[in-house]
Amino acid sequence: MKTHYITEPSDFPQHKVLQIMGTITIMLALPAFLFLFEWKTTAVAGYFGLLSLLIISCFPRFAYFLFLGSTAIFAPYYLNWMAIHPYDLTFAVLLLSIVLDFLFHRNSNFRHTKLDIAFILLIVTTIVSAIFAFDISKSIVAVLRICLVYFAFRITMKFGIELTVRRLITVYIWQTTLFATIVFLESLQSGGAVRSFGVSGPAIRYFIVTAFPMSLAFLIWSRTFFARVGYTFSCLLMGLGLLATQSRAPIVALIITVPVLLWGTFRKAKREKNKQTIRMTKYILIPLILLIIVVIAFADTQFGAVLVRINRLIDSIQHPQGTIATRLVLWSAALKAFQTSPIVGIGIGNMKILSQILPELRTVPLWIWVKGMSAHNVLLHYLAETGITGTVALLFLFGRTYYSALRSRNLCNDPAVGTALWISAFVCFITLFYEQNWTWGQPGYVLSFLFGLIAAEEYRHNRPVPNNDE
């Protein structure tokens, strides 16, 4: 008996979809023309917009890439109790397309991964913290967000298996390059005097800090001259975009990550006795040298502000000042919040009202500047909001993912893919200890994308060999 393994792209029955969409169109066409005749433009726009979304939902891959692109766009619409983002709308369309694919596709199945347990454990501990929260109303959106991150993780894993992990990494690198270029061009207009984020908002740093080392990994194993040139300019543009944001946390992360990438590459090449790979690592220096030359050449003009911020960071090692001082206040506040409820925390999403939980914090110097903010340290933030249980679940998720990425680096037949996944997991893990966010909003979807690709690659290594015997 032949065993069938579902690893090929979906064979969606488009004729059935067209029949359904044709029926919907006919049913809604008459009201639409009546709206148009009466010049009710809002109703007409809503009708055609809804129809477009329904059509897009019939093509899961297109819906997925539309969602992936929208994650790098920050354009919130604020309601009374939450903000709706473009990526929320595209993700809703994506979920609808996945449901349709499941209903109409004859070979849909659920692919298990070891990361599922880690994600579900984090969701459960998050819900528990919400139940015992100081203000449960502040926890509703936070719980919803982590659930959406898990669904996005599952969907990325699905498409990583069907479309290949390499293809999705390539899309991610060049998408980030595009948005980083927009950030740098915006910075050029201001002469580097103000912090620039383009259309992506502050979350662009999460895209760059993960895509930059992945692009370096692809540069090392580029097979052609044109590929090396392409990834060199990709790294250069992302580096310039990151400097335009003047964000110091991701710069520190890359200063740590690039040497680790070189060390890991040399170690892997030495173990495999691959002299060609050792020779290819010199290409990693090209974009770094070009970036340094550009910064030095325009140090007094375009990059003056970011260099000042970096100098302040160095000075803050001995005498904390500016945002470094405010981070220390936030970290201290998070630890005090943890002490009030060490097991389940003060409740997910309740950090923003910490001054109500601990009124004495209002007298702390600088508190007025950090009121309503996160802990700017993912680990301490979870320690405060979800206690020991949620923090252990968070560390388990990140640690298990890093192990899977490290294993993929050693087993993957494509060294560029394996190294890119490993180094992205490394970046996520080290920034867990001092970055603002990894599990909600835009950074949450970046996390779901990277972890989904790692899970897809691990699934590819662990799946059973198909039995061709009849």
Indicate the SS3 state at residue 84.
strand
**Model pTM score:** 0.85
**For 38-70, how does the pLDDT look when each residue is reduced to its tens digit (9 = 90+)?**
555 556 556 666 666 676 767 888 889 999 999
Question: Could you report the per-residue pLDDT of 349-365, keeping only the tens digit for each?
Answer: 888 887 788 777 776 66
User: In this prediction, what percent of the chain has a pLDDT beyond 70?
Assistant: 80
Extract the tokens encoding 450: 């990277």
Read off the pLDDT of residues 407-419 as tens digits, 9 standing for 90 and up. 888 887 888 899 9
Q: What is the pLDDT of residue 11?
A: 44
| Strands 77-78 vs 83-84: parallel, antiparallel or unpaired | antiparallel
How much is the pLDDT for 225? 86
Residues with Cβ within 8 Å of residue 287, at least 6 apart in sequence: 216, 219, 231, 232, 233, 235, 236, 239
pLDDT digits (tens, 9 = 90+) for 116-127: 999 999 999 999
Which tens digits make up the pLDDT trace of 203-234?
999 999 999 999 999 998 888 889 889 999 99
Mean pLDDT of the chain: 82
**pLDDT value at residue 128:** 94
H helix intervals, 191-341? 204-220, 225-245, 248-271, 275-280, 285-297, 304-315, 322-340
- pLDDT for 237 beyond 70: yes
Rounded to 10 deg, the angle between the 204-220 and 415-431 helix axes is: 150
pLDDT at residue 166, rounded to an integer: 93
Residue with tokens 């029949």: 19
Q: What length does the chain have?
A: 470
In tens, the pLDDT along 370-395 reads: 566 677 889 999 999 999 999 999 99
Which pLDDT score is estimated for 7? 38
Given a cut of 80, whether residue 22 has pLDDT beyond it is: no
Kindly indicate the confidence band of residue 10, based on its pLDDT and cuts at 50, 70 and 90.
very low
The larger pLDDT score, comparing residue 46 to residue 180, is at: 180
